[in-house]
Structure 1
């Protein structure tokens, strides 16, 4: 692949590069990237390049998430991309748990927006990710809930009561649920489930542990409870998910 030609031809299709440039200019401490309709990277800033485990932008051009991230994470990113590309709807400030370049687990705020051609067709998407722990005052609302996010991250394998989470930030249960939903656009219970599913996905693709053992270790009541929620969130059963990864 002539990567420079690929990059220039794609950018030439865009109605105006400013639609991407403005997004980058107003977000400090940001990882940003641009993809074409097939999910191939067209550009990325230095921080995003490092997040991919690469040294230069040239190493990511023309490649996809599957070239750089574990299957579970890559599929999650691609599913979000498909939503944006198919519907034209943006994903704004979604909270995601992922390793940073130093391989520490951190919370990121992700935004993805469609990119249009001069003729008005969606030809790709632009995205940003911000590390909550580094973005400072710009993400103050999120840092207010940091203790809650860390508690869920560290204790997802155990039963988690919403009242206990509310107590961590000195709010009543109703106040906490409203505040959490306002900030993250998701209920606390769905967030807990998302973390458990993410942890289980990693176990399914990196260990030979039985599905029943993974279910219990990741905070699910039993095999049935795990399978039902996994299918609801991932679109496939744990068994099929593992088989796809092995294939």
Structure 2
């Protein structure tokens, strides 16, 4: 069983973890975590623990994203970590994640953890939940206007030019900013978002799969099934059967 104290986390990273981190246990809308260079969790707060359906830290510490999340999410988190380990922090990134098949908009920041000599030995991240459009934490993201646009129009044909215009960027600048922030193109992000938004309808409603697909912006069930399988690793029907209680 993995040791779950701050002292154990400090030893595993070779960097000092401040006891103030325990204060994150009292922030009910904030997720907090620390990982080493291999992507192994060394500390998480209670909110994160509960949101991924675990009852104690020792069910998370010592494990990686691939042990805890769907592969499509674990891959995204691994790419984020690789960027941060190269010394490129992620700050105030507005994004959508799925907890218990329900989409949630959050604002995420991730920083490198350094030891006493300044060498990067891991990553730390914080995500604010229950974020309202127009709030300070939302508006700190330069791409927040585009994300608000996507949030409202993801189920419709989405114009990348219109997204760029909401941020005041040229089309080329918008593409560069978006790829640097989300590690994919705007079109790819919208496709992934549509699939993630469909998860709630598949699990918590009895609507036909074709209707769920249409609600999320897919032109037909065949296209939806192809995209869903590519991102989630299984068909919508299989996902519904596996997760419906």
Task: Output the aligned Cα RMSD.
Answer: 4.5
How far apart are 1:111 and its partner, in Å?
4.0
1:63 is aligned to 59
Once residues 186 and 96 of structure 1 are traced to their aligned partners in structure 2, the CA distance between those partners, rounded to angstroms, is 13
1:79 is aligned to 74
How far apart are 1:145 and its partner, in Å?
1.5
2:168 is aligned to 170
How far apart are 1:83 and its partner, in Å?
4.7
Change (3 A) 1:171 1:9: closer
The alignment's TM-score, normalised by the length of structure 2, stands at: 0.63
Once residues 99 and 244 of structure 1 are traced to their aligned partners in structure 2, the CA distance between those partners, rounded to angstroms, is 16
Once residues 113 and 231 of structure 1 are traced to their aligned partners in structure 2, the CA distance between those partners, rounded to angstroms, is 33
Instruction: Tell me if the contact between 1:96 and 1:107 (Cα under 8 Å) persists in the aligned partners.
Output: yes
Change (3 A) 1:178 1:80: closer
Q: Does 1:107 align with 2:103?
A: no
How far apart are 1:44 and its partner, in Å?
2.6
Change (3 A) 1:112 1:155: same
Once residues 243 and 205 of structure 1 are traced to their aligned partners in structure 2, the CA distance between those partners, rounded to angstroms, is 8
Partner deviation per Cα, 1:187-225 (whole Å, 9 max, x = no partner): 111111121111012221222221111111001111111
Tell me the SS of whatever aligns to 1:14: helix
For structure 1, which runs of at least 5 residues remain unmatched after alignment?
66-72, 115-121
> Of residues 231, 234, 240 in structure 2, which corresponds to 1:233?
231
2:205 is aligned to 207
1:32 is aligned to 32
2:217 is aligned to 219
2:43 is aligned to 43
Once residues 215 and 104 of structure 1 are traced to their aligned partners in structure 2, the CA distance between those partners, rounded to angstroms, is 16
1:69 is aligned to none
1:145 is aligned to 143
The alignment's TM-score, normalised by the length of structure 1, stands at: 0.62
